[in-house]
Amino acid sequence: MGASAHLATRSARPAEVERRWLVVDAEGQVLGRLATRVASLLRGKHKVLFTPHVDTGDFVIVVNAEKVRLTGRKREQKTYYRHSGWPGGLRSVTADKVLRGPHPDRVVRAAVRGMLPKNALGRKMLSKLKVYAGPDHPHAAQKPEELSLG
């Protein structure tokens, strides 16, 4: 038995997770690269106590979502689909239309959502994501820290 025989792998418990509030500015950031970093923060993979089956992540506020960058011709070619559940109810809209429309924050939210686990835990993590089209957010009371991804 070596010296490390008494060290056991430790799982985080939901009660002992410390959550910080982080602000990320999406202006000029490439959508996919921004989304991978944000998804990682929401999961808690940057923490020592990361546990796959426990939500150990932080709250992330993304501002200036309307100024996110898409590479290549994705602005015209990337398509978002939704279905009403009725026959013939499939609707599609390009990324450009979403970014110019009333809810440009949905592009960032959809990109991050696709990178989170597809289960109840992933949905819980997504609820910690706050996306705003402009530079202002209503979370000043949480004293969020500015995080640069550049």
**Separation CA 64–CA 135 (nearest Å):** 5
Does pTM surpass 0.85? yes
**Separation CA 110–CA 7 (nearest Å):** 40
The topology (CATH level 3) of 18-70+104-147 is Ribosomal Protein L13p; Chain: A; (3.90.1180)
Tell me if 33 sits within 8 A of 75, measured CB to CB: no
Domain boundaries, the chain: 18-70+104-147
Rg (C-alpha) for the chain, rounded Å, is: 18
- Summarised one tens digit per residue, pLDDT across range 47-98 is 999 999 999 999 999 999 999 999 999 999 999 999 999 999 999 999 999 9
